[in-house]
Structure 1
Amino acid sequence: MPPSDITDSPLRPPPSSMTEIVDDVLSLCDAEEVSVRDMLAAFGNAGFLPALLIPAVIVVSPLSGIPILPSICGIMIFLVSIQMLGHRRHLWLPGWLLRRSVGTKGLRTAMERLHRPARWLDRHSGRRLGFLTRQPMLSLLQLACAICGLAMPLLELVPFSSSLLAAAICLMGLAMITRDGLWALVALLPVAGAITLLLTIWT
């Protein structure tokens, strides 16, 4: 297996909730560090959504204050989203990105703090406005995630501001997981906030 491919992981069904993703990341926090490859391998061949949501969840957390981390997560989000748009069967990420790691002490704290919000989101999700999670709208959601990921390095100039875009990606990912188009609409709010920040910074 080439170092940049994740294709030999065991099969498992796609995640059905945000809480499941947070719990699976928490389960990796026994070692001192966990790499991107380790996180993706924990989900097996469960599709692209875990690879999209893991970096988004990290940037939503206080870990977004670590220098360069939001940019790395943004690049990963962009690459995953583009491959979703291209309907690739297997995820490809560059080896240098798969080897990136984060200390599990901070990761555990961050995921524990996100556990309650994740449960709240899951409890308040349902099959609403389903047409917003089907084609052609699904491709628009994936494109929006790609644009948000690409913008994260620009927003790193303002501490924690990347979290706005990451929150939007989490909501769009949740919409895709639960087929709840309402969350796709709610995602427009943090996107609008991030655009306002970008205009304020660059004008």
Structure 2
Amino acid sequence: MWAKTAERSMTLTELLTKMQPRSKQNIFYFGDFWEVMEKRGFGPMLALPSFIACTPVGAIPGIPSLTGVTILLIALQILLGSRHPWLPRKVMDIQCEAHRLRDMLKKVKPYAARVDRFLVPRCFFMRQPVFRSLIALNCVGCGLVMIPLELIPFMGLIPALAVFIMSVGMATDDGAVALVGVSISLFGFVLGFQHLPAAVS
């Protein structure tokens, strides 16, 4: 299903560098990242919306829902076996202030370089369709619960973090990291469903 969707595994630092807005860019659009990463597989595609949702930008009203919908649409395409991800124009036009994203990436990159030492291609059973589908299904669930959880401050952070970790595992071909993301997503589901009645009431 996901075979040959990426040219090669990436490091976390490389992935974050691809998210970097251009120096003279004032507004960063999701479509900008999409054009750069379109041929690198679904992992990087899931990384950007989940990363944005994990940053202070994710506290802006509407952003958790938009990123959740984006994650949901990409993960559904994985389950359907699409080889090339597609998103509607409205999602591609999701934007944030470039300097905010640039500043966040600058702060995170030194830690990413340290994490890269532990990210290695392993647990190759995760390449099997059944396990890939399991990850995609968890991403679908995370994207779905992020929408109502936006009404509860910071609750959407857990599913967003889970998706980011799973996407890093996919991008770096590290199945062990992807499994960590799956575990966090399961915890997020339990916590999320406990708070969903308060969110929708």
TM-score by length of 1: 0.84
Match of 2:174 among 172, 180, 190: 180
Q: What is the correspondence of 1:101-116 to structure 2 with a 5 Å cutoff?
A: 101-116=95-110
Mapped pair 1:168 → 2:162: yes
Q: Deviations over 1:91-148 (max 9, x none)?
A: 2211111122111121112222222333233221223433234321111011111110
Aligned residue for 2:147, secondary structure, equals helix
Listed as ranges, the matches of 1:5-84 within 5 Å are: 13=7, 16-28=10-22, 30-84=24-78
Percent sequence identity is 29
Cα distance in 2 for partners of 1:93, 1:13 equals 21
Cα distance in 2 for partners of 1:201, 1:78 equals: 18
Higher normalized helix content (fraction of residues): 2
Amino acid at match of 1:169: V
**Structure 2 unmatched ranges of 5 or more:** 1-5
Q: 4+ residue runs of structure 1 moved beyond 6 angstroms?
A: none
User: Any gaps of 5 or more consecutive residues in structure 1?
Assistant: 1-11
Residue 121 (structure 2) pairs with residue 127 (structure 1): yes
- Equivalenced residue count is 192
Q: Find 1:138's aligned residue among 132, 139, 144.
A: 132
Deviation string 1:58-111 (CA, Å, 9 cap, x unpaired) is 111221111110110110111011111112122221111112211112111222
Provide the secondary structure at the position in 2 that maps to 1:102.
Answer: strand
Pair 136,83 (structure 1): closer, same or farther in 2 beyond 3 Å: same
Letter in structure 1 aligned against 2:41:
G
SS of the aligned residue for 1:26 comes to: coil
Per-residue CA shift, 1:126-174, capped at 9, x if unaligned? Answer: 2343323432111101111111011111111122221211111111112
Aligned to 2:184, which of 167, 171, 189?
189
**Which among 129, 146, 153 is matched to residue 147 of structure 2?**
153
Aligned residue for 2:146, secondary structure, equals: helix
| TM-score of the superposed pair, with normalisation by structure 2 | 0.85
For the residues of structure 1 that align with 2:128 and 2:111, how far apart are their CA atoms? 26
Which deviations, in whole Å up to 9, do the C-alpha atoms of 1:12-65 show, x marking residues without a partner? 935512221211111435311011111211224222222111101111122111
Contact kept? 1:63, 1:110, Cα under 8 Å: no
Query: 2:3 maps to what in 1?
Result: none
Over aligned residues, Cα RMSD in angstroms? 2.1
